[in-house]
């Protein structure tokens, strides 16, 4: 180790032989000791506060990122094709956020595997608020209940931001079926075991689980005919190839008015303003029956709370406006506006409910 010149033995000896240099040496050594003590104190202080240069820089950087969010375009992944309810509501959210925060929120459709493909992409995206998910029950609370393996966990791999809306539906039958209400249909199904077919958009969809819930509570057994989308099974229902299906209220109203379909019960928890005279299924002998589709916005786990809260506040304020309340209600939706914690509780309950039904009905993949 190379010592400073003054601290080398020979030099130090010479200095000590000269009385007039002693005071200068004392001051020098005192200064060295003082600086050493200050260094030790500074290190201890930093450790006691869990601070170090790297974490300080990281903390400053994170604070800057969240306070300036968003400073570039944000993607909202819709894990389905364009045009469906999830896509439509995601575009509504994107418009509200773009206008309020001054950056583009761009909807990107990434369909596949019943919504699992796009949902998984968001789960594995950076937790920086620049990739969001427009989620619905299919990949978030239905698939986890019926699939043996999932690439993500709904409650641990995502941060719920806001439930935008729930969508009520109705049990709809072909006019050839001799039933005008739920009780009459149950009697018809029991009198024709193995002959009644229902359609759905596919295995593991809300249309599938909603009908299986009806099967279970009514004590009947209908045949499931899975399709690849809503329009396909709706066309077959109108044509009489299947006898019954769950259809969205707004979508079936026209066909009901034209006499092409018959609505026998709403699947909601309260009557819809669109069809106020249509009784609930729960009012017709199947208490607590309900089947909803829903849509909400989520982020990858680890996304800073400051960012998710900013997004929630914008959407919540916009949803509270009378014009938006009327817009959603006119389309058969029930505005959600749940807080992030409320949305998380909702997801937990929906997941538990669907998982229990899948076990009872022996639905699995």
Bridge partners (DSSP) of residue 131 are 75
- For 66-121, strand residue ranges (E) read 74-78, 105-109
The pLDDT of residue 281:
98
Query: Domain 72-165+297-360 is classified in which CATH homologous superfamily?
Result: Bordetella uptake gene, domain 1 (3.40.190.150)
The pLDDT of residue 168:
81
- Residue-range domain boundaries for the chain: 1-43, 72-165+297-360, 169-283
304-307, Cβ contacts within 8 angstroms, sequence gap of 24 or more: 304/62, 304/65, 304/66, 304/127, 304/129, 306/66, 306/67, 306/69, 307/66, 307/69, 307/128, 307/129
Label residue 200 exposed, middle or buried (CB < 10 Å: 0-12, 13-18, 19+). Answer: buried
- Cβ atoms of 157 and 299 closer than 8 Å: no
What are 317's two structure tokens? 């304020």
CATH architecture of residue range(s) 169-283: 3-Layer(aba) Sandwich (3.40)
- What whole-number distance in Å separates Cα of residue 286 and Cα of residue 217? 7
Q: Chunked in runs of 10, what are the mean pLDDT values of the chain (365 residues)?
A: 46 44 42 41 43 48 74 97 91 98 98 92 98 96 93 98 94 98 98 96 87 95 90 94 93 92 95 92 96 96 98 98 94 89 97 92 83
Is the fold of 72-165+297-360 the same as that of 169-283? yes
């Amino acid at each position: 180790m190379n010592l400073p010149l003054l601290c080398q033995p020979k030099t130090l000896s010479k200095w000590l032989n000269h009385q007039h240099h002693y005071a200068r040496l004392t001051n020098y050594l005192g200064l060295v000791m003082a600086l050493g003590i200050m260094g030790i104190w500074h290190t201890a202080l930093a450790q006691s506060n869990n601070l170090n240069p790297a974490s300080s820089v990281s903390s400053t950087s994170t604070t800057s990122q969240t306070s300036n969010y968003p400073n570039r375009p944000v993607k909202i992944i819709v894990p389905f094709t364009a045009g469906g309810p999830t896509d439509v509501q995601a575009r509504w959210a994107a418009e509200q956020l773009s206008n309020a925060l001054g950056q583009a929120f761009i909807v990107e459709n990434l369909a596949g595997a019943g919504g699992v493909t796009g949902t998984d992409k968001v789960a594995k995206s950076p937790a920086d608020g620049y990739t969001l998910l427009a989620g619905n029950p299919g990949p978030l609370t239905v698939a986890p209940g019926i699939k043996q393996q999932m690439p993500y966990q709904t409650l641990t791999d995502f941060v719920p931001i806001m439930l935008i809306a729930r969508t009520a539906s109705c049990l709809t039958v072909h006019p050839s079926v001799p039933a005008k209400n739920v009780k009459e249909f149950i009697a018809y199904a029991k009198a024709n075991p193995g002959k009644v077919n229902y359609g759905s958009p596919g295995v593991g969809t809300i249309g599938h689980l909603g009908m299986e819930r009806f099967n279970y509570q009514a004590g009947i057994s209908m045949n499931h005919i899975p399709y690849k989308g809503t329009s396909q099974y709706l066309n077959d229902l109108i044509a009489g190839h299947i006898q019954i299906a769950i259809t969205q209220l707004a979508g079936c109203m026209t066909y009901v008015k034209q006499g092409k379909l018959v609505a026998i019960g709403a699947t909601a928890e309260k009557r819809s303003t669109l069809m106020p005279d249509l009784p609930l299924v729960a009012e017709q002998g199947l208490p607590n029956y309900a089947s909803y589709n829903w849509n909400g916005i989520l982020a990858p786990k680890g996304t800073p709370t400051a960012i998710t809260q900013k997004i929630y506040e914008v959407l919540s304020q916009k949803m509270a406006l009378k014009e938006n309340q009327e817009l959603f209600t006119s389309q058969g939706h029930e505005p959600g506006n749940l807080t992030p914690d409320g949305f998380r509780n909702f997801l937990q309950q929906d997941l538990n409910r669907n998982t229990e039904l899948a076990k009872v009905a022996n639905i699995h993949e």
